[in-house]
Amino acid sequence: MPVDLQALYPKLINLMLDTIFVVDRDNQIVFVSDACETLLGYRAEELTGTPITRYIHPDDLTITRASIVRVMNGQAHMDFRNRYIRKDGGIVHILWAAFWSEEVGARIGVARDVTALRQAETELHFLAHHDPLTALTNRSLFNERFDAALHAARRHNNSLALLFLDINDFKGINDVHGHAAGDRVLCTIARRLESCVGTTDTVSRIGGDEFTVLLTDIQSEDAVAQKMAQIRKVMAEPLGLEFGAIRMPSCSIGVACFPADGEDADALLSHADGDMYRIKRQKTAAN
């Protein structure tokens, strides 16, 4: 007995985990498979007869309209991504494969939910550019921002400052109280440093107990000195009761200013690092 494929096709379409949309020249949805309820939270009959653009995330309307024009001009778009607003108000990331059928007179698209993939990509990107313990920018991202800041400073004839911080006797915290306690202290230091800077500045953890602060909106040497004083004051505040007997360690801060102390990243880092160790030796000698 031959199989009636014509009768089978609609059932196959509605068995698909991806959602099939058929949209006319005026962007009206004329057909959508049952998987749309999982994708967007709407039943097929709720979507049919409505404009597909109604459900697109507002920030993605422009790029989506450009993709629509491309498809309707006969260029299939097999890897387009955008965001839609679900019925419950949530946001779903969608990967599309779409083409225009002149025979049908409609745009046919297959939509796949890639929200989990997008989240994983975002997390991987964050981990590649941030310190896993403190969530501060890591050395790689710091170097990128430093280079960009130097380029902007040269172009606009501006100055910037680099602070190099070392936590004094941090090893003692790890030795006496354990590395878990030391990690908590480092996270506290990270948050305190972040509280001292503006949105255009960068705080980075570049090593075990070493941090850098890139100040891009600095107008004078006095402003740099004031920022360093603010950091010292914040760092001198005691730890919370949850830290028990652990005392907040002091820090040594070295500074380098562009262009006075160097013309490139290596020279400025070397100057700030040397200045920090000079201050650290002075503190050690004084004690």
Q: Which residues are catalytic?
A: 209
Q: Which residue has the tokens 């820090």?
A: 251
Inter-residue contact 227 to 196 (CB < 8 Å):
yes
Residues 18 and 85: their CA atoms lie apart, in Å, by 17
Q: Give the length of the chain.
A: 287
What type of residue is 96? W
Tokens read off for 274: 């040397």
Tokens read off for 259: 């262009």
Bond before 259 cis per omega within 30 degrees: yes
